[in-house]
Amino acid sequence: MATRSKSSQRWLKEHFSDPFVKKAQSEGMRSRAAYKLEEVVARDRLLKPDMTVVDLGAAPGGWSQWVRQELDRIDARRPGRVIALDILEMPPLAGVEFLHGDFREDGVLSELVASLGGKPVDLVLSDMAPNKSGVDAVDMPRAMYLAELAMDFADHHLRVGGAFLIKLFQGVGFDDYVKELRRRYDKVVIRKPAASRKRSPEVYALAQGKRASIK
């Protein structure tokens, strides 16, 4: 049996002692990522009754699970829709529509658009990230490509006045991407939720008030 490296042992120790991991386990949440979303959404009051929410890069389902619970809590009579998509399989969640596929493929995007039935989206969430190689010169372009695809989806399917929340990694292309968001939305802020590990380069860009046209 192969022994674990010191770095993997350190990661496991950190993971299982993480208060947000413990909280997720005790509250029946699928992942600690739910608390990143909870902090941002609660602060900015993004959820409203009868919303259509699209969650890109949804597996294992922490964000979709939390949004579904919150929409039901806000107004169970007008629960809206939560549509989740990921290249990975995701166990079913009650009240969440899941599409399994690669968002980079046109056919998968077409399936997602068809599921909307011509109705605009109120909130686009993207927690997508590429598989890491550990080489920044490779990983950053891959991450930015996914971010560009998410922005393009929001450009075409998010309603005017809607909001877009996306995970970004600080590095080459980050500043230019945020500038593009500012051309499209009335308000753009960068958040680093408490549940996001300090050593991680990830941050979350929250863009609110989609404009009718790009500046």
Q: Which residues define the annotated binding site for S-adenosyl-L-methionine?
A: 61, 63, 86, 102, 127
Query: Which amino acid appears at position 64 of this protein?
Result: S
Phi, psi dihedrals of residue 28, rounded to the nearest 5°: 75, 25
**In the block, residue with structure tokens 């939390």:** 66
- Given a contact cutoff of 8 angstroms between Cβ atoms, the answer to whether 168 and 174 are in contact is yes
DSSP code at position 2: P
Tell me whether strands 121-126 and 158-169 are parallel, antiparallel or unpaired.
parallel
Residue 167 among the catalytic residues = yes
Determine which one of 13, 167, 187, 215 is catalytic: 167
Tell me how far apart the alpha carbons of residues 132 and 116 are, in angstroms, rounded to a whole number.
31
Preceding peptide of 49 cis, ω within 30°: no
| Catalytic center residues | 167
